[in-house]
Structure 1
């Protein structure tokens, strides 16, 4: 997170460039592959199974008729809002049987150009520190909500020097010295000197030495556990005004530094937070301070956070700063905006799903354009979508369409962060991303109706039944700037999940679940996962925790390791560990079909009707220059 005493907020990321993977549907697979139906594959009227078809939209309306020929196929329709406004926008999708398909009116393709990517060129190593750090130092933290320009909203904090490394010095707030143990201090020094700074030096560059002392400063303070008058808790942040000499205390401390919470302890989470926050420092100084006077730019919040999370991937410490954010977005993708210029001003300070969206999008872009994309974005004098378009040579709209479709159905890709639940690495991450959750409907059934946030995708899967062809009509306000992509899906396993929760006499919460296969293909069960539909603000210290049942425990609960074709399984009572009440909780049943492709079934326990995100900016909000 980036703290900006007048600017905005930001975050950090881990190693390999993961390929985005196979996708799942609410009751089955949504990826290409062999069609096991007896009917011939429908190749007619401009449609080919598995092929993404970009559909033209006119004044908020899109209409097309896709072939089915009675083949019981499913139709995937990805409906996105590309509006830069927050929304929400009401959208409606209806499906009816018709006698024949027609060639779709395709959205106009835009020409691309060769990407403009600049390889990283390391700078010279700054001089080593020549003097010992001061034993005490004064800092300032904005602890009260209100105007960032109001000095009364800031708290003076006296820092006591507790550890020193080659390129880092660690202070602890005077009143908190007993809260940060020796192991945590040592880990912070070793992580910065041996891991975070060297990786940054050879990939994206170093942050400016704002105070000229040759060392980066870390301040631990318990104020981070109770910011905003006690309403917010964060693990860390960078206040970019600290780096800008134009700002004087309390609005900026003229020091290259990050703030960390005293709740952190030695281990992977501390290391990941430090990597994330240092990335914010690098991005700000390279884009804003390494320019002629008046030419610097400050990166938009969504891209700043995405860069920081992506750099977490370069380190690979842990996914605990990211897994719950990815999972929140995938559980309700239409709720979360991708392009958010300022998270504070948009009142999205603790809306985790937005950050999950930005990471998955930039991860997809980096996988396609290579590691030079990060360097190019950091060093560019552009910001936001314009920055990405200049680097890739593609319009944002085209990148968004390909990403949104590929996130659900990519037969040529392997498992990714969006499908981490299928990789068997749950020990590192209790949250279980299992692909984006779609709505499901049938031909001539009730229309699919939802509210879309700006720059968000919605996934609709339509069971075509025995219809010869299916006509789809999508309607929304013109201001939503709808984008529609459709694809005929193969006939494959279709897994459905239903469940009910109840409280036992001892107060513990239990679950009974039923799994049913409706596609004529057996599936092998992998896991049953549950989590809060909306993760709590302070995820790592909340009593509400995600849970997962797999292996022998899953077999014991359902009495079998597989759901037979057109069969069903009912579970014994399952204790929902980490949940204090019956909802809203999202449940995911993960399985593999006969070809080893992921299949996910979803359901929700509890009422989530009042969970619309805060996606509109409040008039009284002002930007905050904090990066988280």
Structure 2
């Protein structure tokens, strides 16, 4: 017999009721294992564990993929009412951060330089450069430039915007670009991910040196380089697409380690577009796209300041952001530092070929990461957040900022979605009951760990 439709909601409500409080837990972290703490409906409670063998740090995270901040509070419980037998979840092994960064230097290669004054039709090429000013491409959103060959190798050709004027410095820069690309960056990128798509069927990657990158967004923004995904979509017409596999570079760059970092970053974007946009697959989300590009950089010039910004206030900067531009985080250093450190740690656990598996996938975002690592994002995020307190973080061994809390007053803070606060309640007596609260939408995650004390 089928129940009356009006009875169904009543039955559901009576069965669900109010979410029960989480168990009062007694975590026991060790030097090699962290203690996860149960959270129910944004609420966790636990007894402060003994911490004579290290500094107790509470790793408090929000797993919501909404980057907006959530209010989080920590307080001392005045009374737990009736006596409760503390419980605890199984410990999680700590996977320390191991600095695997190795600086790369280009080797000398033969580069054919072409004077910028050579007037040959085959050396002249037209490009439409996006200005990132929110205007339509056909109505002020792009500028058309004329460029001529400045240097060429076996796999790439560097074009110089005629607006730069004559100058041997630009030819030197063009030669350095080819050297970096063909001896170091392209071979390494191709080995990990695969070769780039040849969109314009000329057998070479085009690299445009132009001063236009110094005056983007109505003269508000300067960038060293970028790659436009639309250029890899052959179904688009000019000026929406140059229908070419190419990189845009700022002509103000100078030869040196910084140039290598910019080129490696942008070439990773070339490979991303080649294995996704050129094949009609969906683009990867920005946090993975940019994080993988930063991981390709051989040196610290383009990432060190971003790591420092993130570590100075880790609770402020979200990890998972599908569209940096829409979120107002396009030029935010902290979110770039977060995704670099997260993916760098993931590479330690799963190997550097993780980059290729992510970029060749037809999935994107968290779902893509879970598929290729065979791990839940919540577990990856917890393990990484704890690992940040253990081992050597590249370019910044000090680790994330840790907030000191005496327990005298409640600690109130704001936590961005997929961000973490590190809290040291060092003055609290073991056995003290602590409550952690956040909105249920924040998807609160709490872990206790012992950090080695500094001698």
Q: TM-score, normalised by structure 1?
A: 0.60
Cross-structure match for 2:36: 54
- What is the CA-CA distance between 1:287 and the residue it aligns to? 2.3
| Number of the residue aligned with 2:125 | 137
Alignment partners' CA distance in 2, 1:102 and 1:270: 60
Q: What CA deviation, in whole Å up to 9, does each residue of 1:288-336 have, x standing for no partner?
A: 334xxx6x12111111111111222xxx3x2101111111110110111
User: Residue 140 of structure 1 contacts residue 249 of structure 1 at CA under 8 Å; is this kept in 2?
Assistant: yes
Does 2:430 match 1:479?
Answer: no
**Partner SS state of residue 44, structure 2:** strand
- Name which of 335, 338, 359 aligns with 1:357: 338
Unpaired segments of 5 or more residues in structure 2?
1-24, 93-119
Match of 2:172 among 183, 195, 204: 183
Q: Displacement of 1:196 after TM fit?
A: 1.6
Corresponding residue number in structure 1 for 2:409:
446
How many equivalent residue pairs? Answer: 400
Partner of 2:253: 264
User: What are the equivalent positions in structure 2 for 1:64-83 lying under 5 Å apart?
Assistant: 64-68=46-50, 74-83=55-64
Distance 1:367 1:321 in 2: 21
Structure 1 contact 332–437 (Cα < 8 Å) conserved: yes
Partner of residue 103 from structure 1, selected from 78, 86, 92: 86
Instruction: Choose from 357, 379, 382 the match for 1:398.
Output: 379
Query: Whose strand proportion is higher, 1 or 2?
Result: 1
Q: Does 1:378 align with 2:359?
A: yes
* Matched position secondary structure for 1:186: helix
The Cα shift of 1:201 comes to 2.4
What CA distance in whole angstroms lies between the structure 2 residues aligned with 1:75 and 1:98? Answer: 23
Which residue in the other structure is 2:185 paired with?
196
SS at match of 2:30: coil
Deviations along 1:326-378, one digit per CA (max 9) or x if unpaired, are 11110110111111111111111110110111111111111011123122112
1:245 to 234, 238, 241: 234
Distance 1:141 1:49, change over 3 A: same
Question: Which residue of 316, 325, 329 maps to 1:348?
Answer: 329
Q: Is the partner of 1:483 in helix, strand or coil?
A: strand
**TM-aligned CA deviation for residue 68 of structure 1:** 3.5
The residue that corresponds to 1:336 in the other structure is 317
Cα deviation, residue 45, structure 1: 4.6
- Residue 271 (structure 1) shift: 1.4
1:528-607 equivalences under 5 Å are 593=455
2:224 corresponds to 1:235: yes
Query: Is the alpha carbon distance of 1:192 and 1:468 closer, same or farther for their aligned partners in structure 2, counting shifts above 3 Å?
Result: closer
Displacement after TM superposition at 1:489 (Å) = 5.0
Give the secondary structure class of the aligned counterpart of 2:268: helix
Point out the more displaced range, 477-486 or 398-407. 477-486
Quick one: distance in 2 between partners of 1:276 and 1:330? 22
Provide TM-score, normalisation by structure 2.
Answer: 0.82
Structure 2 distance, partners of 1:156, 1:381, is 33
Is the alpha carbon distance of 1:149 and 1:107 closer, same or farther for their aligned partners in structure 2, counting shifts above 3 Å?
farther
Q: Distance in 1 between matches of 2:420 and 2:85?
A: 25
**Deviation at 1:382?**
1.2
SS at match of 1:92: strand
Q: What do the CA deviations read for 1:379-431 (whole angstroms, capped 9, x no partner)?
A: 211111111101111111110000001111x3xx4x231xx345xxxxxxxxx
Distance in 1, Cα, partners of 2:180 & 2:29: 52
Name the counterpart of 1:284: 273
Deviation, 1:72, is: 10
**Alpha-carbon offset, residue 454 of structure 1:** 0.9
CA distance 1:386–1:474, change in 2 (3 Å): same
In the TM superposition, residue 103 of structure 1 has moved relative to its aligned partner by 2.9
Per the TM alignment, residue 105 of structure 1 is displaced from its structure 2 partner at its CA by 5.1
Report the Cα distance in structure 1 between the residues aligned to 2:439 and 2:26, rounded to whole angstroms.
Answer: 29
Residue in 2 that maps onto 1:389:
370
Please list the CA deviations of residues 176-223 of structure 1 after superposition, one character each: whole Å capped at 9, or x if unmatched: 134653321110111112222222222211111110011111111111
Partner of 1:301: 286
CA–CA separation in structure 2 for the residues paired with 1:489 and 1:271:
36
Deviations 1:224-252 (A, max 9, x none): 11100011110000011111111111111
**2:261/2:302 contact within 8 Å kept:** yes
Q: Distance in 1 between matches of 2:324 and 2:136?
A: 15
